[in-house]
Structure 1
């Protein structure tokens, strides 16, 4: 799959994802708008019921006042008759100036009594007449009847006096005047400057969002699922492309690796058919040795590929025995050391571990050490200097293989343990391999309960550390 096609797929999927997200957001926004309209309708239905019940309570109170007034008027009339009779009798009996003064005093006293009977109270304003507890309880009850549990504040505004007569809004005074629901308090009264009941919901949006929590949650989950699928698809596409590149690289390397020994064997076989060479016993034996060596090389290539396949299937079983790590390293050095010496290099051993005995599979552990030392040699172009250090750490043995080769940059360090991955070297085939070695090392270490770690700096060498735990028994 080429880069242009991958970019096209990513662009198409991104467009679809963005479109679905926009549709979801638009749908949620419309749903909130509908919910807001329903909320307003419910408030507009609930508050008139409150005002009707307030008017009804006021009418009952006015009726009681009228009855009381009529009773007081009857008492007033009776009192007037009695006072008139008393004053008249006193007026008839006036004989001295003192009697006139007494009459005046009695007149003032009678006037005070009449005032008390008639009443001289000024009419109270709305803030005195309106029962605040009743208003509060009616608002709560009617809003709950409509299914509204949101917190609210309210106030009563007088247009005649241009001020709030009742205000329980606290810090929401400005919002109450600007963004509230407004209703005429007593709409059936003929008043040019009526009072208004104002209701404001400070957390209306939060309340609406809470009411729609399930819808919003489902929408968010759907968007997240789509996004995760998108990311997964992109990762699969990128991985497939990368796998394809690694496969091609593997095939090219394998072809190159196999072609060389096959060509060598072919040339040696042709030479052996030559009659002159047949007569030369030493030369014939030399060609046979070449064929044998190249055959072993082919066998080694096949073995590495089969070993990688076995690791994938998980069918291999470790033959765990007690082994001496130092002995295994010495054995590997004896085998590989000649390849290092050919490049005028050297291997330095630094055995610091006092206890180097672990429980491991001898064959696989030997292959692990061999892979790491072979890599250190291959990636050190000039005079390899490989240092092998062993030391005891908590619960096991740490083997460190350090070289002064070309090193590995940070980006490639994350991938070197992936199967078939090789650090790019262009089209140069002087570093041979299939990208199977380090993935094999990691898999074997994990099966042993150990781990492998790399520290490297580009052009400044690499340091591979292998940890093997001691056996429990």
Structure 2
């Protein structure tokens, strides 16, 4: 009943999480859209401001020229007589240096000192009279910044035009500070959103793993408890009490199932102790070859039932290491147990040892179903189980490989995995032949000598 309620609560929690993620994502997209809209509007506003400022500056330049030009005779010539040498007549009215000086003075107020070309040209025949127009002639003629100079020349014939090749980049540079600040805040929002979603997702996965663990723990505990209950009821039967052989049989069943239950509880407790980092390792000289043989012997009865086979090829030249015999035996038992569980047919397991530099290498090969690359990333995490379909098709709590890795690391070693779906797995244990303390003592003695 508890498991069903937990599962129902998990489904409700998952739905709430999905709704929360959807709302947060929509909100984030809204913030991004508003930021983009704000930046676009800021650019347009800045461009309009720039356009107005350029128009005012151009009119100011022409007004200054008009004020400085007091020769009415030259003005009449320019207004009423056809120009034989167009450029000469215009320069008589508007000196090149004066025009250039006035333009640069006005544009200096706009903080635009370079990056533009200008000209006074005849709009009838597109002939240029004067100006700075080395590259962008066509662009000057079609520029949006044009002012008629009809006060100085025949109305409609001459125009003062300016072109800014880098107008867009110039406007953006003026907004670069605000844009960078906006991008920084937006990045902070996106990162916060990503971290929040990642945390929620991890919590969701952890919740699912805990539910899976509780389901499997309930299933694992239920079997020995039920067996003990049945055996106890049988012992209460007066007829069986009078049969000493049957009494011993049911008592043995109770003892066996009690030990099984005890081992399962110990696994769960060891997992909690390992997570806290409070597990004590008691190092003693341990014959690894002897320990491997003893572990294999413990599985022979089970292998007989499954028609499986365990082979050993122990070739390590040095195999006595400082280790906690109890925990290393559990590590070997866990790996062999997994090899049996995850075999699609009769288990075929091979255990081999070699010596590599200052370490003993123990390989445990199986011809089981293998492990996918994705599962290999998480397989040593606490409570993680490789799913093979039905929840209870493979028994276990998902703490075996977590325990294996932690124990080997506490011995100063490492665990390696080579596996491919459908082709089996190889777990490699690399354990140092000497403890860290022994190595440090040897270095100290070498220093003394």
TM-score where L is the length of structure 1:
0.77
C-alpha displacement of 1:462: 1.8
Q: d(CA) in 1 for partners of 2:87 and 2:18?
A: 82
C-alpha displacement of 1:382: 2.9
The answer to whether structure 1 residue 384 and structure 2 residue 347 are counterparts is: yes
Q: Structure 2: give runs of 5+ residues left out of the alignment.
A: 1-9, 75-84, 440-449
Alignment length (residue pairs):
414
> Which among 358, 361, 370 is matched to residue 398 of structure 1?
361
Task: Note if contact 1:379-1:431 (Cα within 8 Å) is conserved in structure 2.
Answer: yes
Partner of 2:129: 165
1:222-242: per-residue Cα shift (whole Å, max 9, x none)?
A: 333333333334334433433
> Which among 22, 28, 39 is matched to residue 28 of structure 1?
39
> Which among 149, 152, 164 is matched to residue 116 of structure 2?
152
Partner of 1:93: none
The answer to whether structure 1 residue 262 and structure 2 residue 273 are counterparts is: no
Q: d(CA) in 2 for partners of 1:314 and 1:434?
A: 20
Q: d(CA) in 2 for partners of 1:149 and 1:358?
A: 80
Partner of 1:102: none
C-alpha displacement of 1:434: 0.6
C-alpha displacement of 1:307: 0.9
Q: d(CA) in 2 for partners of 1:144 and 1:358?
A: 82
C-alpha displacement of 1:284: 2.5
1:4-37: per-residue Cα shift (whole Å, max 9, x none)?
A: 5554444333322222221111111111111112
Q: d(CA) in 2 for partners of 1:277 and 1:466?
A: 50
Q: Within 5 A, what are the aligned runs for 1:56-205?
A: 59=70, 124-127=88-91, 130-148=94-112, 151-159=115-123, 161-166=125-130, 168-185=132-149, 188-189=151-152, 191-205=154-168
Task: Note if contact 2:143-2:161 (Cα within 8 Å) is conserved in structure 1.
Answer: no
Partner of 1:366: 329
Partner of 1:238: 201
RMSD over aligned Cα, in angstroms? 3.2
Give the stretch that moved more between structures: 346-355 or 3-12: 3-12
Partner of 2:49: 38
Q: d(CA) in 1 for partners of 2:36 and 2:321?
A: 61
Q: 3-state SS of the aligned residue for 2:426?
A: strand
Q: Within 5 A, what are the aligned runs for 1:425-444?
A: 425-427=388-390, 429-444=392-407
Tell which structure's C-alpha radius of gyration is larger.
Answer: 1
Q: 3-state SS of the aligned residue for 1:154?
A: strand
Q: d(CA) in 2 for partners of 1:248 and 1:386?
A: 32
Partner of 2:7: none
The answer to whether structure 1 residue 413 and structure 2 residue 376 are counterparts is: yes
> Which among 197, 210, 220 is matched to residue 173 of structure 2?
210
Give the stretch that moved more between structures: 317-326 or 438-447: 317-326
> Which among 6, 24, 29 is matched to residue 13 of structure 1?
24
Q: Within 5 A, what are the aligned runs for 1:245-324?
A: 245-320=208-283, 323-324=286-287
Task: Note if contact 1:385-1:404 (Cα within 8 Å) is conserved in structure 2.
Answer: yes
Structure 1's 20 and 282: CA in aligned 2 closer, same or farther, altered over 3 A? same
Task: Note if contact 1:397-1:470 (Cα within 8 Å) is conserved in structure 2.
Answer: yes
Q: 3-state SS of the aligned residue for 1:235?
A: helix
Q: Within 5 A, what are the aligned runs for 1:429-468?
A: 429-468=392-431
TM-score where L is the length of structure 2:
0.80
Q: Structure 1: give runs of 5+ residues left out of the alignment.
A: 66-120
Q: d(CA) in 2 for partners of 1:326 and 1:223?
A: 61
Partner of 2:81: none
Give the stretch that moved more between structures: 125-134 or 453-462: 125-134
